[in-house]
Structure 1
Amino acid sequence: MCRWLAYSGDPLQISRVVLDTKHSLVAQSLNSPLGAETVNGDGFGLGWYGPSRDPGDAPAVFHSIEPAWHDENLRELAQAVESQLFFAHVRAAAGPPIQQTNCHPFRYGRWLFMHNGAIAGFAAMKRELLLEVAPEFFLGIRGTTDSELVFHLALTHGLMDEPIEAMARTLRRIEEAGRAHGVTAAVQGTFAVTDGATVWAFRYSSEHRSRTLFHSEDIDVLRAMYPDFERLRVFGTRARLIVSEPLNDLPGAFIEVPESTAVVVTPDGAYEHQPFLAPA
């Protein structure tokens, strides 16, 4: 499917995690040991916020259909841009064509969204779900992926007011539509959304066997564990990462997010875990 990461914290050069770590996102685009596909070479995208955390500020985005390991612009951009909150995504297309409008992250106003996984039976239910997108969001759909439709359905269901509740309503609605078309397990994946201040990430699938998801350990804890590990010094004390798979091999550096869980990274850098559509 795909690989992604979300960073929040003190301003950080994007290349520090997208390019420079042992298992960076670009490295995962070529070799993803924990992914459904080993290679994720069907385009990539970045979304980042400027130095202000003003909630009215919209993020910048950059999309390319080049494989991440092959695109010189990605290296130039990632080394030049520092951001206190950014999303990065490498794509393995599950059917929709390889085009810029199908690359994550997707943007609406100040919001960013990305997904790893798939909606089973999407072609059968696509028209029905598209017609449920509110008119004020409908024209924002520019591509053909299930992921972009999930985002705009979530906006319709109140994402900008209640992110966790809106994602729950959206995925339950997709499951309902799937059952009507004979699909018993429609939803698979991990999802991330941000308004530029808070990050919400979700690990959920209808079968409760979701794609992998991890978040970083507190940086002060890691420095105490590994006082001689030089690379930790580039990160500020509020640095937080949510990733499809760990970026290094340090034991304890990344913590697996439980199945059917929502993870929240607050503006002050705290992690919060909440059950999300957990089985009864």
Structure 2
Amino acid sequence: MCRWLSYSGAPIFLEKLIFEPEFSLIAQSLRARKAAVATNGDGFGVGWYGERPIPGLYRDILPAWADPNLKSLAHQIRAKTFFAHVRASTGTATSRANCHPFAQGRWLFMHNGQIGGYDRIRRRLDALIPDELYARRGGTTDSELIFLALFGFGLETDPPAALRRTVAAIGDAMAAADITEPFRMTAALSDGCSVWAVRYATDETPPSLFFCSEDEQRLIVSEPLDGDFDHWHQMPPGHLLVTDCAGRLDLEPFSP
């Protein structure tokens, strides 16, 4: 399973998040502690919101620990909102188009998990993507499909409802195809001000997700970045976490 982090708050240099912590995202790409797969070396990506409303994006197929450009960029880029992701493929190709985060307009999205039986219903699920966005589908992952499908379920006006409706539509397609493999996900979505993060599964084992909020900084992570567990809170299964640029942090039940 992939590992990811979301940061929002006072502007910070990216290296403070992905290189410097004891259990940084780069460390997790080599040896994750709370994932079924320890190594996440099938590409990486970072997205950020700086002075412009449209996010910046840098993705590549190298393992995150092996890209010298990432080290240099992380030392220079300072922003108020970051997404970062290291990928462990669940069967799709290692290509730049399949690396997270994904961007469309002002939106960023990243995901960890898998739609059960995805290969069996991929053609059916493709129909959830609005016609005007289908040409934007550059890769083959279920993650990108989920992101683009959100636009057809009202993302621009009501992100939490769009997440619920998209997950429900995927569940309906799985049921119609008699798929018994679980649908597991953690995902993060941002418009540059707010971040919506969800932890969900159709069985009892959703991927791990933690959060902390202190000193004008709000972090949502697949795994804690340090060993000080007093300030990390595990997100309950079946919940949605919402943060915004005013410092709000709300946790609410998530049910399709």
TM-score normalized by the length of structure 2: 0.97
Backbone CA RMSD of aligned residues: 1.1
The answer for the alignment partner of 2:237 in structure 1 is 259
Q: Counterpart of 1:13?
A: 13
Q: Secondary structure at the match of 1:252?
A: helix
Contact 2:117-2:181 within 8 A present in 1 as well:
no
Shift of 1:251: 2.8
Q: Percent identity?
A: 41
Shift, 1:69, TM fit: 0.7
Aligned residue pair count: 256
Q: Counterpart of 2:38?
A: 38
Matched, 1:148 2:141: no
1:208·1:260 contact (CA, 8 Å) conserved in 2? no
Structure 1: gaps (5+ residues): 220-236
Runs of 4+ in 1 over 3 A off after TM superposition: none
Indicate the residue corresponding to 1:69 in structure 2: 65
Matching of residues 120-135 of structure 1 within 5 Å:
120-135=116-131
**How far did residue 50 of structure 1 move?**
1.1
1:172 pairs with one of 135, 153, 168:
168
- The answer as to whether partners of 1:137 and 1:156 remain within 8 angstroms in 2 is no
- Indicate conservation of the 8 Å contact 1:174/1:186, yes or no: no
Shift of 1:246: 0.1
AA paired with 2:31? N
User: What SS does the aligned partner of 2:229 have?
Assistant: coil
Provide the rounded CA distance (Å) in 2 between the counterparts of 1:155 and 1:36.
31
Distance 2:203 2:181 in 1: 6
Partner of 1:184: 180
Shift of the alpha carbon at 1:189?
Answer: 1.3
| 1:245 equivalent in structure 2 | 223
CA distance in structure 2 between the partners assigned to 1:186 and 1:210 by the alignment: 9
Distance 1:86 1:250 in 2: 22
Residue 243 of structure 2 aligns with an amino acid whose one-letter code is: V
Segment of structure 1 superposing worse, 111-120 or 265-274: 265-274
Q: Deviations over 1:10-43 (max 9, x none)?
A: 1000000100000000000001010121000000
* Deviation (angstroms), 1:185: 4.6
Aligned in 2, Cα 1:186/1:175: closer, same or farther, shift over 3 Å? farther
Q: Quick one: distance in 2 between partners of 1:115 and 1:30?
A: 19
CA distance in 1, matches of 2:162, 2:23: 33
